[in-house]
Amino acid sequence: MIHSLFLVNASGDIFLEKHWKSVVSRSVCDYFFEAQERATEPENVPPVISTPHHYLISVLRHRIYFVAVIQSEVPPLFVIEFLHRVVDTFQDYFGVCTEAAIKDNVVVVYELLEEMLDNGFPLATESNILKELIKPPTILRTMVNTITGSTNVGEQLPTGQLSVVPWRRTGVKYTNNEAYFDVVEEIDAIIDKSGSTITAEIQGVIDACVKLTGMPDLTLSFMNPRLLDDVSFHPCVRFKRWEAERILSFIPPDGNFRLLSYHVSSQNLVAIPVYVKHNITFREGSSQGRFDLTLGPKQTMGKAVEAVLVSSQLPRGVLNANLNPSQGTYTFDPVTKLLTWDVGKINPQKLPSLKGTMSLQAGASKPDENPTINIQLKIQQMAISGLKVNRLDMYGEKYKPFKGIKYMTKAGKFQVRT
């Protein structure tokens, strides 16, 4: 399985290596660097690289490449999925997953990697178990540790790996028992030039933050479970009950976790919350281009559209943009040609617009490609698919937990072609 892991930063330095079997020389990464040079964009480095003796499987997260060295046949997704799990764990532990954070916590990182893999085969990847084995560093704990000389390795050996509910540790205790669920939906859409929808899908997740004492057994039911077309569950969810009754029944892990991700099928009509009027033209011969963009709310069910951010990659020929936003601020990066406009909240009475001219390279002919417009937005307190949680019940424990649910709609990969 996984032989070694190298972490490579954006400038191409290996700043951490870990071997689970015999040591593999770091020169194996040279093949990776070669591929990195060939690729124009950082994300274009092929995830799987074949070298004479090894295979390199890499993922790019937070501008760090995680390069795993493989010697024999193994499902590539197995490795990729594992590497992502490693990054998630780091993020969980250190808050951010940056080179600096990893370097600062190199010992914890090493201990984590040691626990996560044995001889290249994943061993403990549940964050609940790992946290019992190795406590995450906090400022307070670091201080206490330096003063008292105690450690961040769990004093007691964990029982989680042995328990019947491997994702939950035993003996959890809270004074305030609370369970919060966030229903977050993202709209993926492609809108064509004329404003009609080419494809639109809703992808949703339910993230949970459960802090409950003991071994609670929760059930979550929906008002309209038939909406969910395709779902994937956290391992704690009982599949059978979902199949039979469309009820989520589970013993939750402790803390934050993703309970469910779902897909609302594209067969249903998807409400598109905003519309874009655009007019981006380049005149032949002149070194000027017109840029005109107006946003407006469409189907928002009376909720405000917030945190709108428009970005567009302008053609290479554009030298500068001289625009005038009716609200918010815009920036144009002349190097990457990326135009971003931070709109903020859309006021339906006074629609935000961005108008002005673009100056083109003198003498160059008019660019023949059209920029696409990417839109990000947020709508609070609404799930655009109309999904509603009916009720949450708890069994197995006597106390009354505090329950909360929050809905939010976001734009996912929302693109408008021009």
Residues 263-322 that bind another protein (CB under 8 A): 263, 266, 313, 315-316
Residues 174-203 that bind another protein (CB under 8 A): 188, 190, 192, 198-199, 201, 203
Q: Does 261 bind another protein (CB under 8 A)?
A: yes
User: Of the two residues 15 and 31, which places its CB atom closer to another protein in the complex?
Assistant: 15
Q: Which of 149, 285, 302, 363 binds another protein (CB under 8 A)?
A: 149
Q: Which of 161, 287, 294, 357 binds another protein (CB under 8 A)?
A: 161
Q: Does 111 bind another protein (CB under 8 A)?
A: yes
Closest separation between CB of residue 260 and another protein, Å? 9
Q: Does 5 bind another protein (CB under 8 A)?
A: no
80 vs 226: CA distance, rounded Å? 32
User: Of the two residues 60 and 384, which places its CB atom closer to another protein in the complex?
Assistant: 60
Could you tell me which stretch among 299-307, 339-347, 368-376, 402-410 binds another protein (CB under 8 A)? 368-376
Which DSSP letter does residue 317 get? Answer: T
Q: Does 170 bind another protein (CB under 8 A)?
A: yes
Q: Does 171 bind another protein (CB under 8 A)?
A: yes
CB 83 within 8 A of CB 91: no
Could you tell me which stretch among 152-160, 296-304, 347-355, 400-408 binds another protein (CB under 8 A)? 152-160
66 vs 8: CA distance, rounded Å? 7
Dihedral over alpha carbons 243, 248, 249, 252 (to 10 degrees):
140
Q: Does 127 bind another protein (CB under 8 A)?
A: no
Q: Does 152 bind another protein (CB under 8 A)?
A: yes
Closest separation between CB of residue 44 and another protein, Å? 5
Neighbours of 118 (CB within 10 A): 12
Task: Please state the φ and ψ torsions of residue 143, each to the nearest 5 degrees.
Answer: -65, -50
* Residue among 236, 245, 240, 244 at smallest CA distance from 217: 236
Q: Does 119 bind another protein (CB under 8 A)?
A: yes
Q: Does 399 bind another protein (CB under 8 A)?
A: no
Using CA atoms, how far residue 207 sits from 185, 234, 408, in Å, is 11, 10, 11
User: Of the two residues 91 and 347, which places its CB atom closer to another protein in the complex?
Assistant: 91
Q: Does 59 bind another protein (CB under 8 A)?
A: yes
Closest separation between CB of residue 347 and another protein, Å? 28
- Per DSSP, helices labelled H in 197-271 are 239-245
User: Of the two residues 89 and 203, which places its CB atom closer to another protein in the complex?
Assistant: 203
Using CA atoms, how far residue 77 sits from 80, 132, 186, in Å, is 5, 28, 25
Contacts for 16 with CB less than 8 Å, ≥ 6 apart: 5, 6, 7, 102, 103, 106, 109
Q: E-strand spans in 137-236? A: 178-191, 197-211, 217-222, 228-233
Q: Does 51 bind another protein (CB under 8 A)?
A: no
CB-neighbour burial class of residue 68 (10 A; exposed 0-12, middle 13-18, buried 19+): buried
Closest separation between CB of residue 8 and another protein, Å? 12
Could you tell me which stretch among 73-81, 271-279, 301-309, 341-349 binds another protein (CB under 8 A)? 73-81
User: Of the two residues 340 and 372, which places its CB atom closer to another protein in the complex?
Assistant: 372
C-alpha 267 chain-centroid distance: 25
Which DSSP letter does residue 345 get? Answer: S
Q: Does 374 bind another protein (CB under 8 A)?
A: yes
Q: Which of 164, 269, 335, 362 binds another protein (CB under 8 A)?
A: 164
Q: Does 246 bind another protein (CB under 8 A)?
A: no
Q: Which of 33, 51, 92, 165 binds another protein (CB under 8 A)?
A: 165
Q: What is the largest CA-CA distance in the chain?
A: 78
